[in-house]
Structures are given as C-alpha cells and as structure tokens.
Amino acid sequence: MRFLHFTITGFLVLTAALSFAADPPAPRNCGKIVIINDDGFSNFYSGKYRTADDLRKQISSFKDSQVGVFEWCIVTGSRVNFASPNHELPGEGMDEYPRRGDKLASETLQQLRDSGVDTLAVVAEACRNTGIACYASVRMNGDYSAGAWDGTLAKVFNSDFWHNHPEFHQHSTAGKPLTRLSYAFPEVREFKLSIIREAAARDISGINLDFQRHPNFFDHEAPMLEAYREKYDDNPLKVTSVDPRWDSIKAKFMTKFVADTRAILDQAGKQKGKRIGLSVRIGWEKYRTWGCDIETWIKNGWIDYLVVGQYGLGGYEFDISPFVEMAKGTGCAVLFGEECILDGHDTTAAEDKLIAEGKMKLKKRGTLSSAQHHERAARWYKAGADGVHLFNVGDRSVLKSIGNE
C-alpha cells in the first residue's frame, strides 16, 4: 500500500503539472534572451551591497541593457540570504569567520533582516520596476566539507539541517557519510522544497535550479542501494556511483523533486494569477549522471528555459544543437551557459590573512572579454541557441549588445 500511495501521489502531481505549457522569457531590447546570474553573496562579501538601496541601484543599472532575466541566487551552501522563519543566514551564530568578507557579508545580511529588509522581495521589486524578470536561483548542493579550512567554511555556509543529519548525506560504498546531501532521501527533497516554497511566496518571475552548484546528488545511500537491487538483482556496492546503470534510478528521484517544484510554483501562480517560471542549469556532458532527465522535464512543459554549460572554469566549447533539437516545438528556450571566469580560485582564508597583513596582493582572475563574448555568442546563435546565460560575468560592457543576432 505504501508503494501504491507513492505512485498515486506522484501521478497526481505529474498530472497537475502537465496542464501548464512552457513560457520562456522574452528578449529585451534585442533579438535573443540574455540572462545574468548574481550569486547573492560576493557583493555582500566585498561590501558593495550594504543596504536595500544598494540592491536597487545594482538592478537599475541594467535598465537600458539587454538583460531580460536577473537570476538572484538565494542559497549559499544550504543557508539562505533572505529573511526566513525556517532557514539560517550565512554565518549566523558565529563569532569568528575564515575571511573578513565572510564576516562582513554575515553581519550585513543579519542587519538587513533585523531591520525588516527582505532581500529577495527588494530584488524582485527592483527587477519589476526595471522591466526585468526575476528568477530566484537555488544552488542544488553547495555544502562544504566538514574539514575545509579547519571546518570554518561548513560553519558559515552549511545549514543546521546539514550538520544535524549526517544520515541524510550521500554515503560511500563503505557506509561512510560524505559531504553532499542525497536527493534519494525524501527528507532532503523536502528541505530543499521548503526554501522554494518561501521564495515562491515573493513576487518573483520564477525559480532556477542550478545543478552546476554542485554535483553529485546521489551515491550509495540506503534508498539507492534498495532501488538498485530491485532493478538489477545485483550487488550495488560493486558498482561505482557514475556507472550508467544508476542513471534511471537517480532520474526517478530527481524527477520527483522537479515535479514537486513545478507543483509548488503552479499553486503559487494560481494564487497570483500568473505562471511562475522554472529553469534549470545543467552540464552538457554529465547531466544524466546527475539524475537530470531533462528530456522528460521539457516534454512535460515543466521548464521554461534550459541553460546548458560545462562544470568548471569558462572558455569551454561544445555543440548545443542536440539540446536545441530536444526542445524544438515545446516552448522551452535553450541558452548557452557561459562561465565567464577563465582561471584562478576564490580567495582562501590563508590568502585573505596575508592580504590583510599587506604580505600579498589580491589576484585578479581572468575573464572572457567583451569581444570574446560577442564572437562566441554569434556561434551559439548560429547553432540555434535562444540566448546566452552569463555566470560570473566580469566585463559588464558585454551586456549592452550581446543579445543582437
């Protein structure tokens, strides 16, 4: 009966979601869709965002640009950057921080919350006033290792849920808990969905599920082992987590999550009298290994735009046309996902200490130039891409004309 209940419930969710068609964002001031992602933390870390007016000023700076969608990341690690009754802010409850910027970001976000500022609501309103769609971006599995930087990173960014429930982490073949949470557990999926429910209560245009931050999403935890034995009648502990035999099992769990997300957005949209969009960002090489059955998600009309990139630093190239073909006639837009940073790494705690002592200079990371953006975008458009998605964009001059065909 338990299995039957799960099946019927899942069927009802899928049936409800099927009644809606994809509705991609429209190009703005140009012929192609241009989307920019703000990680929702770096500018708090640097001190650029200190007040609600700082957020409004940043978004209003895109007024005459061709940016049609502003993705505002709301999850760092597994904590959120908006006022929430159920989830913690980064660094909340800490007295010592790994880097000066972590301390500044944490203090700023807590001050904004305590003064009644809802950062997500402010961003959504500023986008609306600027004529830009606002998608709240959810990093799907961004938690840090318990041992990273002597455990300080996990204390800043990882949620209480992550700390309190090692049983819901991914597990090695030896049964050892690993860093990332596993979407095979309904408790993990519900934890993530609770963030999406809160975000959907704001006046946003949509939700973005960012699978590139960070895979993987499954390993050898109990629900995975049980599903594998049932499907193959074999020992799953002898099969690596990236073996393609796992793909359909991972996809079953993740598709349930995406269906539930779509249902949450549809319910919120009915109350607001509009469709609330859903998009995903995947890696072109390994999305099946991550459990992303994008063919089904597109076919069912669940997602409004698909961002296809590559996990890692930018400058990569691949053929986007198979994804364009996959989405043809469905209404789902397909965008080439540019990672604009080409080299380097985030400042470590040790480096930040040396910089503070004047013993080291902050290293500037290489990024795609405006000319490179334009030359590359022309190729993606020729291959059929509906636009470009810019992640970690450095040269803002590109935003004025990159959407031209």
Instruction: Give residue 400's pLDDT.
Output: 79
Which structural domains are found in the chain, ordered by start?
2-400 (3.20.20.80)
- pLDDT, averaged across the chain: 94
**pLDDT tens readout for residues 290-318:** 999 999 999 999 999 999 999 999 999 99
Query: Side chain identity at 32, as an amino acid letter?
Result: K
**pLDDT tens readout for residues 131-185:** 999 999 999 999 999 999 999 999 999 999 999 999 999 999 999 999 999 999 9
Q: Which structure tokens are listed for 38?
A: 């703000």
Over residues 88-117, mean pLDDT? 97
Q: Which structure tokens are listed for 191?
A: 């934890």
Distance, in Å, from the CA atom of 132 to the CA atom of 124, rounded to the nearest integer, reads: 9
The total number of residues written for the chain in this structure: 405
Which helix (H) or strand (E) segment is 319 a member of? none
**pLDDT tens readout for residues 186-223:** 999 999 999 999 999 999 999 999 999 999 999 999 99
Q: Which structure tokens are listed for 395?
A: 């040269």
Distance, in Å, from the CA atom of 399 to the CA atom of 70, rounded to the nearest integer, reads: 12
**Quick one: pLDDT band at residue 17, thresholds 50, 70, 90?**
very low
Over residues 264-285, mean pLDDT? 97
**pLDDT tens readout for residues 42-98:** 999 999 999 999 999 999 999 999 999 999 999 999 999 999 999 999 999 999 999
Radius of gyration of the chain measured on its C-alpha atoms: 21
Q: What is the 3-state secondary structure (H, E, C) of the chain?
A: CHHHHHHHHHHHHHHHHHCCCCCCCCCCCCCCEEEEEECCCHHHHHCCCCCHHHHHHHHHCCCCCCCCEEEEECEECCEECCCCCCCCCCCCCCCCCCCHHHHHHHHHHHHHHHCCCCHHHHHHHHHHHHCCEEEEEEECCCCCCCCHHHHHHHHHHCCHHHHHCHHHEEECCCCCEEEEECCCCHHHHHHHHHHHHHHHCCCCCEEEEECCCCCCCCCCCHHHHHHHHHHHCCCHHHCCCCCHHHHHHHHHHHHHHHHHHHHHHHHHHHHHCCCCEEEEEEECCCCCCCCCCHHHHHHCCCCCEEEEECCCCCCCCCCCHHHHHHHCCCCCEEEEEEECECCCCCCCHHHHHHHHCCCCCCCCCCECCHHHHHHHHHHHHHCCCCEEEEECCCCHHHHHCCCCC
Distance, in Å, from the CA atom of 59 to the CA atom of 62, rounded to the nearest integer, reads: 6
Q: Has residue 377 got a pLDDT over 70?
A: yes
Instruction: Give residue 331's pLDDT.
Output: 96
Contact 218, 250 (CB under 8 A): yes
Q: Has residue 13 got a pLDDT over 70?
A: no
Q: Has residue 383 got a pLDDT over 90?
A: yes
Q: Has residue 397 got a pLDDT over 90?
A: no
Residue position matching structure tokens 């459990």: 291
